[in-house]
Amino acid sequence: MNFIAWKMLTGDKAKYISLIFSIAFASFLISQQASIFAGLMQRTTSQIIDVRDAGIWVMDPATQYVDEVKALPDSALYRVRDVRSVAWAVPFFKGQATCRAPDGKFRGVILLGIDDATLVGVPRNMLVGKAEDLERPDAIILDRAGYEYFFPDQPLHTGAVFEMNDRRAVLVGICEASAPFATFPVMYTRFSLARDYVGRERDQLSFVLATARPGFSNATVCAAITETTGLRAETTDQFGWRTISYYLNHTGIPVNFGITIVVAIIVGAVVAGQTFYIFTLENLKQFGALKAIGVTDLRLVGMILLQALIVALSGFALGLGLAAEFFEVTIHRTATRGFVLLWPAVIGTGVLILIIVMLASLLSIRKVITTEPAIVFRG
């Protein structure tokens, strides 16, 4: 019976291919859009996840996400250090500056200022130079994407002199940083230099980075800092999810991606359902003949579900292959770096496709069950 079901499914190659490609189209769109959406949300936390030396972020209580910074007074650093369960705490600056390259090209950059003494928050993945080179006068480290913007088609090298706020900045290293949400170059320097590069304001302490003493969890220390200082203290994960939540609730990103995914589901369901139903109508005599020779309704339902499963697996595999090829092509480009096909998106897409095909086969199952064996004798 399984072989008969297969032959019936592939008897009309045009309809069979139409079914496969409708499912493949839905699989491609769902997995691709879901992966891009997840990658985009991860980009919003790029500066958070790149700081691997500290597990606690201390900020103004009104801070909603990492890109909305209300500077703290310098005294906040010492108040955090006074908390008994804090092992150490260092300053961290995050802001934007306008950077001019040697050839006159300029662009806004994300400027990160790390502690002069400890270099906590320094990039780990150095392509050229060493993190310790930041201790040199006027030293900066630029991410690879930023370097490619300022120096397109040039090999990675250091020594270039930039200008920010009428001050010189010497490129001493190039790193691989996580792609930011806004595609600005990411630049690292010492905290003391960062304050000069953006211009003096009364308060320029963006965050305090801290870590817990042995025997204390980060969550416990966060609660102690908040209670003692009145500042908000969150773990890296908490602050990351706070940032993602802000973008989910205050931007149109989830709606736009959601509409595309819903359209893909509807198109896949409608096309597959319609084609499946037409396929069943054209094979009613065959199903009637099988009933006439004693094949049970349960066995016929099993045949239809087998056909649906074959279509689902074939279309899903084709769509997934197209999505994987899409990310393979785009992952090496600066604007789309970091976007990959995520395994949760693959699993979620597989489940959705299975549901779509099973729902699409319901009309066919109903039609076959209600078919009389005598249909085989009708003209």
**DSSP assignments along 219-267, one per residue:** HHHHHHHHHHHSSEEEEHHHHHHHHHHHHHHHSSHHHHHHHHHHHHHHH
User: Is 317 a domain residue?
Assistant: yes
* 214 and 276 inside one domain: no
Computed over every residue of the chain, the mean pLDDT equals: 85
User: Is 346 a domain residue?
Assistant: yes
* 81 and 211 inside one domain: yes
Mean pLDDT on 91-111: 88
Q: Retrieve residue 3's tokens.
A: 């072989």
* 211 and 266 inside one domain: no
Sequence-ordered list of residues with C-beta below 8 angstroms from that of 114, at least 6 positions apart, any chain: 90, 92, 93, 120, 121, 122, 134, 188, 189, 190, 191
* 271 and 160 inside one domain: no
Report the number of distinct structural domains present in the chain.
2
Last residue in a domain, options 230, 264, 290: 230
Last residue in a domain, options 168, 200, 230: 230
Structural domain including 360 reads 2-43+252-377
Q: Retrieve residue 115's tokens.
A: 């502690």
User: Is 38 a domain residue?
Assistant: yes
* 264 and 354 inside one domain: yes
Report the pLDDT value the prediction gives residue 377, as an integer from 0 to 100: 53
Rounded Cα distance between 130 and 352, Å, is 47
Q: Backbone phi, then psi, for 192, in 5-degree steps?
A: -65, -35
User: Is 48 a domain residue?
Assistant: no
User: Is 298 a domain residue?
Assistant: yes
* 222 and 259 inside one domain: no
* 37 and 107 inside one domain: no
User: Is 66 a domain residue?
Assistant: no
Last residue in a domain, options 167, 197, 230: 230
* 373 and 226 inside one domain: no
User: Is 247 a domain residue?
Assistant: no
User: Is 264 a domain residue?
Assistant: yes
Answer yes or no: are the C-beta atoms of 102 and 166 closer than 8 Å.
no
What is the value of pTM for the model shown? 0.80
* 207 and 290 inside one domain: no
Report the pLDDT value the prediction gives residue 183, as an integer from 0 to 100: 80
* 196 and 85 inside one domain: yes
* 310 and 355 inside one domain: yes
Rounded Cα distance between 17 and 279, Å, is 12
Mean pLDDT on 136-155: 92
* 205 and 106 inside one domain: yes
Least confident of 64-78, 164-178, 329-343: 329-343
pLDDT at 90 over 90: yes
- pLDDT tens by residue, 254-310: 888 888 888 888 877 777 777 777 777 777 677 667 767 777 777 777 777 887 888
